[in-house]
Chain A
Amino acid sequence: MAAQTISLPDSRFPLRTLLWPALALAAAYILVPAFATTYLLEAILLPFLALSLAAVGLNLLTGYCGQLSLGSAAFMAVGAYAAYNLNLRISGLPLPLSLVLAGVTTAAVGTVFGLPSLRLRGFYLAVSTLAAQFFVQWVLTKFGWFSNNNPSGVISAPRLIVAGFSFDSATGRYLFSLTTVTLLTLFVWRLVEGSAGRNMIAVRDNETAARVIGVPVLRTKLLAFAVSSFIIGVAGALWAFTYLRTVEPAGFNLDRSFQILFIIIIGGLATVRGAFIGAAFIVVFPLVLARTGAFLFGGVFDSGVLDMSQRIILGVLIILFLILEPKGLSELINRLATRSNRQRA
């Protein structure tokens, strides 16, 4: 990442920065359950939440700490399969606890694959995270134990019960997912606003300089890997339990890893908000494209053409964002807001 100016945390009480997230959260908790259809919940909001959380995790590692990872989907898979096995094999383990333990498991795996980052930089590290991608997928497919001896490694979500309340309905799964995402995002937000976040940015911008001024580079990198993997692991568990309900290792392939990387590029590197904006874009964009394509071109626009044009447009967008707006949609929104404020004044 090129040297960027660091906006120091606002010393005043961050009322303004909290206003919009608070409003969004209120709408998400009150308006959405009241009005959203099952389609909206299951096809848009549930994948949006899980992908947002995964992107928050990756953004911590890549956006803040500057360590490019191409193995996010593998860590999502670790989280999903860990949560499944914990739930299956330890009877009476409360669901939230099995999610936390799944996150811890993923953090352990992520730290192991992050160890090379202590010696490797840049591309070499990116390639080493690919090792995680292929290795994890192979392990989950090859060893039946992880999927309770399902021949193709498929796992199905357990019933979602917390403290006697069932969260199995679409709305229930949505609320469960929303609460998990909110709590973890708050945690990450506190982390990046604090000294750990500034250490990460220092390591990203110039590792040698950071070391010289006394930033504990080793600890910062490992912390980024551990927390990031924890979050991505929980996101994987949400993806499997609340959105798809039935997953196989092949669902967590390299394309999924790229998808999460694209979310943070489009949404905005090194912003918490960017992960959500990018995820919303990635989830809604194919649906919009399918509708528009069918409307404009009719039958010619079949699923094959749709798939290819989706790839092309996504690729073009990635390059355009990198060239024109490296800080993504998040910064674009900021700029529009300042402009409209100025006009009002």
Chain B
Amino acid sequence: MEVYDLLFFVEVLIGGLLSGVMYSLVAIGFVLIYKTSGVLNFAQGAMLLFAALTFVSLVERGLAVPLAIGLTLLIMVALGFAIERSVLRPLVNRSPMTLFMATLGLSYIIEGAAQLVWGTQVHGLDLGISDVPFEIAGIFISTFDLAAAGIAAAMVAGLSAFFYWTRIGLAFRAVADDQFAALAVGLRLSRIWGSVWTAAGFVALVAGLLWGARLGVQFSLSLVVLKALPVLVLGGFDSILGAIVGGLIVGAGEKLAEVYLGPFVGGGIEGWFAYVLALGFLLLRPAGLFGTKLVERV
């Protein structure tokens, strides 16, 4: 009995960690944009929905999968630069709160447009990854979650390589480090912001496909943004490592709480548990685990 309980605990823990990776996937999109432009992009969830919905609708209209991915990416590039031009540039130098509220408006536009164009019905999405759990030493692990974790790891590795070994990646880091200095050495801020939003669009596509395969491609997909926010709070808004660790903590905490704490309070606590966890944590460390501490000047 004792062994079984321990096995069960490990199984829940692993399941939680793996679903946490899915949260991290969404959170990374936020971090990219926050780091370089200081905007907390609430529209990341809407972008995720938009990307997944566009991809699925293109495939359903008979496009080959690689072609559909290419076309969706092109659309995300266009979207990224359009947002830079029409929302970010006019709001340059305005307070972070104003920018946040603007992305709230943006999320309404993207959600509305995505569903106006592609319809509101639920689309199934099959990525060809089976969701049959397999067993290791008596512990069942979902193949799909494992594959998702693999894809996430590959994406993070790819992003890091991009940041460290390409010119545009260097420019990203320069802007994240000091906007004015970057401008002074002649970096084109508008092009960099456009690219960053494109990169976030790419992350949104990957996350959207994985989440879409899990939940079906539908409106509620844009609500995963609400799962990503506590992850960001835990990890700090400007750290990719933080997004990953935060995602793992939230995923594991949520699953463990649901299994071991849920029965005592009537269940359904996964809707807010992550927030309370993040809130409690914030009181101890206001800048998150890996966030930059703010130095205030008058």
Contacts and interface: CB of A to CB of B under 8 A. Distances in A.
Interface in A121-142: 121-124, 126-128, 130-131, 134-135, 137-138, 141-142
Interface stretch (B95-103, B125-133, B153-161, B182-190): B95-103
B91 to A, nearest CB: 6
B137 interface: no
B25 to A, nearest CB: 19
Given A2-B95, A312-B109, A312-B112, A124 B282 contact: yes
B102 A311 contact: no
A179 interface: no
B298 A208 contact: yes
Given A1-B97, A319-B106, A309 B112 contact: yes
B74 interface: no
A216 interface: no
A311 B111 contact: yes
Contacts of A94: none
A127 B298 contact: no
B230 interface: yes
Contacts of A311: 108-109, 111-112
A206 B298 CA distance: 8
A322 B102 contact: yes
A322 B91 contact: yes
Contact of A316 (B105, B268, B296): B105
Interface residues of A, number: 48
* Main SS class of interface, A: helix
A325 B163 CA distance: 37
B297 interface: yes
Given A119-B286, A131-B278, A131-B279, A318 B111 contact: no
Contact of A322 (B96, B98, B112, B298): B98
Interface residues of B, number: 50
A326 B97 CA distance: 12
* Main SS class of interface, B: helix
Contacts of A314: 105, 108
Interface string A301-345: 000110011111011111100110010000000000000000000
B269 A138 contact: yes
Contacts of B269: 138
A107 interface: no
Interface string B113-134: 1011000100000000000000
Interface string B35-50: 0000010000000000
Contacts of A130: 226, 229, 275
B294 A121 contact: yes
Interface of A: 1-2, 66, 68, 116, 119-124, 126-128, 130-131, 134-135, 137-138, 141-143, 206-209, 212, 254, 258, 261, 265, 304-305, 308-312, 314-319, 322-323, 326
Interface of B: 40, 86-87, 90-91, 94-98, 100-102, 104-113, 115-116, 120, 226, 229-230, 232-233, 237, 265-266, 268-269, 271-272, 275-276, 278-279, 282-283, 286, 288, 294, 296-298
